[in-house]
Amino acid sequence: MSSRLRVLSAALALAVTGGLLALSGQAASAAVTGQITGLAGKCIGSAGGNTANGTAIDLYSCVGGATQQWTFPGDGTIRTAGKCLDVASAGTADGTKVQLWDCNGSAAQQWVYSSARDLVNPNANKCLDLAGNSSADFTLAQIWTCTGGANQKWNAPTGSTPPTNPGGFVVTEAQFNQMFPSRNGFYSYSGLVTAMGAYGQFAKTGSDTVRKQEAAAFLANVNHETGGLRYIVEINTANYPHYCDWGQPYGCPAGQAAYYGRGPIQLSWNFNYKAAGDALGIDLLGNPWLVQNDAAVAWKTGLWFWMTSTGAGSMTGHNAMVNGAGFGQTIRTINGSLECNGANPGQVQSRVDAYNRFTQILGVPAGTNLYC
């Protein structure tokens, strides 16, 4: 576990901007139209073949109707009859209706299609779901917490390019899987993409090369912290009771041993859970287990540190990459004197090796100032 997490304070908590960025700047791939099939080989379409705003989406036998034909234009939306697949009122609760609505570029109309055949709305971090696990004709579609159940599995039109990187994330799901071939399934690509909605400037600042370098730098450091995204929680359980600072006015409401390292940056100490939770609008002080149980929350804590904390250095990881300071400064921010200035060259080299590998996967140069 890295030392910088011991020295952060609640003063680091910063306001974050919500919502997923619009995709108007993303180049659309060639649109492909076809049916989306689910349980029992049946298709989803607009109820009764209607096209009015608010028309429910339901499951029924594939009859080839116009509103069972869906287009993936490559901008994160899914369309039929000139309208978009939409989560009613941008809702996030289990059971929220999925409907047709005029395309408006909102987060309610963004979808991620994963390699596991889930269709996820990142705004809600929930899956397109068939109510009651039913395959009966006219079963309504809704969003629901992703369970991996058959009622949440979908086959996209053959030859389509489903929206696997909404918001134009410079790392595709295939590249992510190449970077982390042995990763724990908890660290999902969709969880990372969802988390990015909280920090709209991550991997979105500067040229395409700079954006890819920043993504590679963040993921390389995460790779080092988690053993290639294999470890969700700190391995040494003997350390668990050590991360409660009773000098803080809010104490340790989740318990003396509740604030051990979790997630992609191994967030630890009660004051860091408080700071990250305040910034993200999540009660991590009271429920630190969210970081090990919810992939999107885990990724958000990593991005919170990357985007807002100078840690043991003089700049955030984000600023180091977008302002040309180089990858070495991100190492200094993360672990400072424990690794830099010759303190632990092996650890530094491990991070640099991962960064070089990831920039090669993304097809960009690593740049200069790789070491600290």
Walk along the chain (372 residues) and give the pLDDT tens digit of each residue.
Answer: 444 443 333 222 222 222 222 222 223 334 678 899 999 999 999 999 999 999 999 999 999 889 999 988 766 789 999 999 999 998 989 999 999 999 887 778 888 776 678 888 877 778 899 999 999 999 999 999 888 889 999 988 755 544 544 456 889 888 999 999 999 989 988 889 888 888 888 998 888 899 999 999 999 999 999 999 999 999 999 999 999 999 999 999 999 999 999 999 999 999 999 999 999 999 999 999 999 998 889 999 999 999 999 989 999 999 999 999 999 999 999 999 999 999 999 999 999 999 999 999 999 999 999 999
End-to-end CA distance of the chain: 19
The four Cα atoms 113, 115, 118, 119 give a dihedral, to 10 degrees, of 0
Residues with Cβ < 8 Å from 238, sequence gap 6 or more?
none
- The catalytic site residues sit at 225
3-state secondary structure of 72: strand
For the entire predicted model, the pTM comes to 0.60
CA dist 314 and 337 (Å) reads 13
Q: How many helices and strands in the chain, by DSSP H and E?
A: 10, 11
Which domains does the chain possess? 1-18+198-372 (1.10.530.10), 32-166 (2.80.10.50)
In this structure, is the dihedral angle defined by the CA atoms of residues 79, 211, 194 and 192, taken in order, positive or negative? Answer: positive
Q: In the structure encoding, which two tokens stand for residue 246, read together? A: 């009773």
pLDDT at 113: 77
DSSP state of 155: B
Tokens found for residue 145: 């917490």
pLDDT of residue 116: 72
* Residue 263 CB coordination number (10 Å): 28
d(CA 159, CA 145): 28
- Residue 14: per-residue pLDDT: 25
What does the pLDDT read at residue 183? 93
